[in-house]
Chain A
Amino acid sequence: MTPPYESRYEPWDPARGSEIIAEHAKREGATLVILHALQEAFGHIPEPAIPMVASALNLSRAEVYGVFTFYHDFRAKPAGRHVLKLCRAEACQAAGGDALAARAEQKLGIALGNTTADERLTLEPIYCLGLCATAPSAMLDGRLIGRLNEARIDAIVAETQR
C-alpha cells in the first residue's frame, strides 16, 4: 500500500545505500554509525542493506542483523508519517503519564508500539527524554514537548490526523 502522503524519506536505492555505507565504513566500530545513517536516509533499515553493510565491514550477515535487532531505535519498516513517542518511565508515571498514554491509545484506536491503519501516526513508548522536571514528556517528529496534558494530547492527535 502506498501511503496517502509524500514520505520524508528517500526510497531504497542500492547505489545510494552503498554510498552511505562507504562514507562511514572506515570509522572505528562503524556498524551503528552506518545503521543510523541508513535509517536517516530511508526511514528504516531496508533488508537488502544488511548484507551490504556486512561485506563493507567484513562481518557476517548474522552479526549485522544481530546488531540491527538488538537496538530499539532501528526499524525494519518505515514508521507512519508522524511519530509520537510518549515517555513511559517513572518520572512521567509520577506526573500522570499513565492516563495520558491511555488517552492517546484510546483516541487513536491503537496500542503503544503500533501505527494507525492509515499510516499517519506511529505511537511509541520511550524511556526517558531527560525532561523529568517538566514531566510528562513526549517527542513528536523529533520535537520535544514538556508539561504534556490532555488538551495537548488531543491537539496532537487532531493535528496529525489532518
Chain B
Amino acid sequence: MTLRLYVPRDAGAVAVGADEVALALEQAAAKRSIAIEIIRTGSRGLYWLEPMVEFATPAGRVAFGPVTVAGAPALLEAMTADGAHPLRLGLADEIPWLKRQTRLTFARCGVIDPRSLDHYRAHGGYKGLKRALSLGPDTILAEVTASGLRGRGGAGFPTGIKWKTVAQAMADRKYIVCNADEGDSGTFADRMIMEGDPFLVIEGMTIAAIAVGASKGYIYIRSEYPHAVEAMNAAISAARRAGYLGRRTGDATRSFDLEVRVGAGAYVCGEETSLLESLEGRRGIVRAKPPLPAHHGLFGKPTVINNVLSFAAVPFVLTEGAKAYADFGMGRSRGTMPIQLAGNIRRGGLFETAFGVTLGELVDEIGGGTLSGRPVRAVQVGGPLGAYFPRALFDTPFDYEAFAARDGLIGHGGIVVFDDSVDMAKQARFAMEFCAIESCGKCTPCRIGSTRGVETIDKIVRGERVAENRAVVEDLCNTMKLGSLCALGGFTPYPVMSALKHFSEDFGPAPTRLQAAE
C-alpha cells in the first residue's frame, strides 16, 4: 500500500528546510522500498512546528514536527508502523492551536494541494462562484455588504460599498486589482493563502468581476514573494484551462481574465493609488484622492482594488451566506481575521479567529510569550505604521474601533512581539528611518520630516537637550499627521508617539535607559 505524505511547499516551511525534508523522505523510502506519495501542500500556519509532515491514516492525517533531514528515516519508520515518535503531534485537525481557530478563509490552507483544481473543488471550492452566478450582480453586492466584510489591507473600508460604487460607474472597461504587496513586517497571510490556496483568491476576484462587470484583473505581488508569484501563475493557467478564467468564467455570457504583475521593492506601492501607478508602468507616486479608484482607477477606468484577504473572504460569504460570516465578530468588525503572530514569539504563525479576542490572549496564551523566554515588553500591531503597545494595553480586543480608541490600528493583522531587551528609542528611530527610505517623495512632511525625526531621536539618545528635542519629535509627528497625503507619512507618528508615550524611560541619554532596563 502506498503511504501518502503531506509536506508543505509554503515559503515559510521551505525556508526552514521543507524541500530537503521531502527529498530525505523520498530517499529513505526508496532505500527501504516503501511506496510513498508526497503531496506538497500549503502551510497550516503553525510555523514553530515547520517543517510539519503529515501522513494519511484511516482516522485522519497525523502530524509530526518540526522534522529534520536527519530525522527523516526514523520518521518514515514510525509512520509505516503508525507508532510512537517524539515529534508526533497526533491528528492534525485536533492540534489545540488549530482547533481553537475559526478557519473560514484558511479552511483549506495546508490541507489541499494548491496546484490541484480538483482538490480545490473537492474541498468546497468554486461553490461561491456557482452561487454568485445564480444570484446575479445586485444580490452579490447585497450579500457582500450584509456580511459586514471590511477591507483587510489596513483601512477597513466596507468591501460591499466599494464594489457597489464600481458597479454603478459607467465605463467600457472595468478592472479588478488584487493588492498582494503585503509589505508590513510581521504579516504573511497574503503570502500563505496565495501559496496554499491560490484558487480561492481567483474565485474571490472572479465573483468581484461578476458583481461589478469587470473583464480584466491584475494581481500585484511584491517581488519578495517569488513562491507566491509561481503559485498564482500556476493556478491562473489551471483555471484558464478548466474554463474558469478567459472567455467564459463559468457561463457563456461573461469573460474575465487575470494576470500577475510583480512589484519592484517599493513599500509605498502597497498604497492603492501608488500601486495603480506602478501597474501602469510608472513611478509609484501616490495620487491625490478624489477621484477614487472606484471611479477613476487603473488606466482611468473604474477599478475595484482590494487586499488578498478581502477577496479570499468572499467565496465563503457567497457559499454560506452573509449571515454565516457576520455571525462572527464584535461591534462593526464582522467575521474572522487571519491574525499573524511574529517576531520574538514561541508559537508564531497564522491564527484565524473571530474579532474580539484580546491582545493578551493572542500574545501570551496563543503565542506562548517570547521565544527567548524573557518577558514580553512591547508588541507592534499593524505593521510599520502601527503603534507599539505595552502589556498595560493587553486587554484591548482585536477590533478596528477598539484599537483606534487606544491610538493604534490593527492594519493587516500582524503582531510583532519584542522582549525586554528592546530599545524603544531605537524602534521609534527605525519607524522614522523606514518612512524616509520608502517615502514616495510627494509630501514635504513625509520626505523631510522623517529624516529630521531620525536626527532628532539621535540627539535625544545622545542626551542633547532631551526635553526640547522630545517636543521637536512630537511637533514633527503632528506636522506629518496633518500634512501627508497617505498613511506612510500620516501614520508613521503612530509607532513613534506610542513608543514615546508608553516607553518614555527609553528616551533619554543611554545610561539612564540601561539602568531602567535592569
Q: List 25 A-B contacts (CB under 8 A).
A: A28-B299, A29-B282, A29-B299, A32-B264, A72-B264, A73-B263, A74-B264, A90-B380, A90-B384, A90-B430, A91-B186, A91-B416, A94-B417, A95-B344, A127-B185, A128-B224, A130-B224, A133-B341, A133-B342, A134-B15, A137-B15, A139-B224, A142-B226, A146-B15, A146-B16
- The complex places the Cα of A74 from the Cα of B182 at a distance, in Å, of 19
- The complex places the Cα of A57 from the Cα of B350 at a distance, in Å, of 43
B265 on interface, CB distance cutoff 8 Å: yes
CB atoms of B264 and A90 under 8 A apart: no
- Inside 8 A of B419's CB, which chain A residues have their CB? 94
A124 nearest in chain B by CB position:
B265
For A35, A66, A127, A145, the residue with the greatest tally of chain B CB atoms inside 10 Å of its CB is A127
A89 nearest in chain B by CB position:
B185
In addition to A35-B264, A127-B267, A128-B185, 19 A-B residue pairs with Cβ atoms within 8 Å of each other are: A28-B280, A29-B279, A29-B280, A29-B282, A31-B281, A57-B281, A71-B263, A71-B264, A71-B266, A95-B343, A127-B434, A129-B15, A130-B188, A131-B12, A132-B188, A133-B340, A133-B348, A134-B50, A144-B15
A100 on interface, CB distance cutoff 8 Å: no
Chain B residues with a Cβ under 8 A of chain A: 11-12, 14-16, 45, 47-48, 50, 182-188, 190-191, 223-227, 261-267, 278-284, 299, 340-345, 348-350, 371, 380, 384, 414, 416-419, 422, 427, 430, 434, 437-438
A70 on interface, CB distance cutoff 8 Å: yes
A108 on interface, CB distance cutoff 8 Å: no
- Inside 8 A of B343's CB, which chain A residues have their CB? 90-91, 94-95, 132, 135
- The complex places the Cα of A21 from the Cα of B282 at a distance, in Å, of 16
CB proximity of B219 to chain A, nearest CB, Å:
14
Tell me whether A134 and B418 are in contact in the complex, defined as CB-CB below 8 angstroms, given that A72-B265, A93-B430, A144-B11 are known contacts.
no
CB atoms of B418 and A73 under 8 A apart: no
- The complex places the Cα of A130 from the Cα of B226 at a distance, in Å, of 11
- The complex places the Cα of A67 from the Cα of B344 at a distance, in Å, of 37
A156 on interface, CB distance cutoff 8 Å: no
B47 nearest in chain A by CB position:
A133
- The complex places the Cα of A33 from the Cα of B280 at a distance, in Å, of 10
A120 on interface, CB distance cutoff 8 Å: no
A126 on interface, CB distance cutoff 8 Å: yes
CB proximity of B393 to chain A, nearest CB, Å:
18
- Inside 8 A of A67's CB, which chain B residues have their CB? 281-283
A123 on interface, CB distance cutoff 8 Å: no
- Inside 8 A of A146's CB, which chain B residues have their CB? 12, 15-16
List A107-133 residues whose CB lies under 8 Å from chain B.
126-133
B419 nearest in chain A by CB position:
A94
- The complex places the Cα of A71 from the Cα of B438 at a distance, in Å, of 10
- The complex places the Cα of A30 from the Cα of B261 at a distance, in Å, of 10
For A63, A67, A90, A139, the residue with the greatest tally of chain B CB atoms inside 10 Å of its CB is A90
CB proximity of B352 to chain A, nearest CB, Å:
14
Tell me whether A130 and B344 are in contact in the complex, defined as CB-CB below 8 angstroms, given that A74-B264, A94-B418 are known contacts.
no
CB atoms of B186 and A132 under 8 A apart: yes
- Inside 8 A of B50's CB, which chain A residues have their CB? 134
- Inside 8 A of A30's CB, which chain B residues have their CB? 281
A38 on interface, CB distance cutoff 8 Å: no
- Inside 8 A of A128's CB, which chain B residues have their CB? 183-185, 187, 224
- Inside 8 A of A73's CB, which chain B residues have their CB? 223, 263-265
Tell me whether A89 and B384 are in contact in the complex, defined as CB-CB below 8 angstroms, given that A73-B264, A130-B182 are known contacts.
yes
- Inside 8 A of B184's CB, which chain A residues have their CB? 128
B367 nearest in chain A by CB position:
A133
CB proximity of A97 to chain B, nearest CB, Å:
10
CB atoms of B380 and A132 under 8 A apart: no
A92 on interface, CB distance cutoff 8 Å: yes
- The complex places the Cα of A151 from the Cα of B185 at a distance, in Å, of 24
- Inside 8 A of A82's CB, which chain B residues have their CB? none
Q: How many residues of A contact B (CB 8 A)?
A: 43
- The complex places the Cα of A28 from the Cα of B495 at a distance, in Å, of 38
CB atoms of A129 and B264 under 8 A apart: no
A34 nearest in chain B by CB position:
B281
CB proximity of A151 to chain B, nearest CB, Å:
15
CB proximity of A142 to chain B, nearest CB, Å:
7
- Inside 8 A of B15's CB, which chain A residues have their CB? 129, 131, 134, 137, 144-147
CB proximity of B53 to chain A, nearest CB, Å:
16
- The complex places the Cα of A94 from the Cα of B349 at a distance, in Å, of 15
CB proximity of A34 to chain B, nearest CB, Å:
8
B440 nearest in chain A by CB position:
A70
From the candidates B14, B371, B437, name the one contacting A95 in the complex (CB within 8 A).
B371
CB proximity of A55 to chain B, nearest CB, Å:
15
- The complex places the Cα of A91 from the Cα of B383 at a distance, in Å, of 9
CB atoms of B342 and A132 under 8 A apart: yes
- The complex places the Cα of A90 from the Cα of B385 at a distance, in Å, of 11
CB atoms of B187 and A130 under 8 A apart: yes
- Inside 8 A of B261's CB, which chain A residues have their CB? 32-33
B418 nearest in chain A by CB position:
A94
- The complex places the Cα of A49 from the Cα of B380 at a distance, in Å, of 43
List A22-52 residues whose CB lies under 8 Å from chain B.
28-33, 35-36
- The complex places the Cα of A63 from the Cα of B280 at a distance, in Å, of 12
CB proximity of B339 to chain A, nearest CB, Å:
11
- Inside 8 A of A57's CB, which chain B residues have their CB? 281
CB atoms of A133 and B48 under 8 A apart: yes
CB proximity of B197 to chain A, nearest CB, Å:
16
- The complex places the Cα of A135 from the Cα of B416 at a distance, in Å, of 11
CB atoms of A32 and B262 under 8 A apart: yes
- Inside 8 A of A91's CB, which chain B residues have their CB? 185-186, 342-343, 414, 416
- The complex places the Cα of A144 from the Cα of B9 at a distance, in Å, of 12
CB proximity of A21 to chain B, nearest CB, Å:
13
- The complex places the Cα of A142 from the Cα of B226 at a distance, in Å, of 8
CB proximity of B471 to chain A, nearest CB, Å:
26
CB proximity of B233 to chain A, nearest CB, Å:
13
- Inside 8 A of B348's CB, which chain A residues have their CB? 132-135
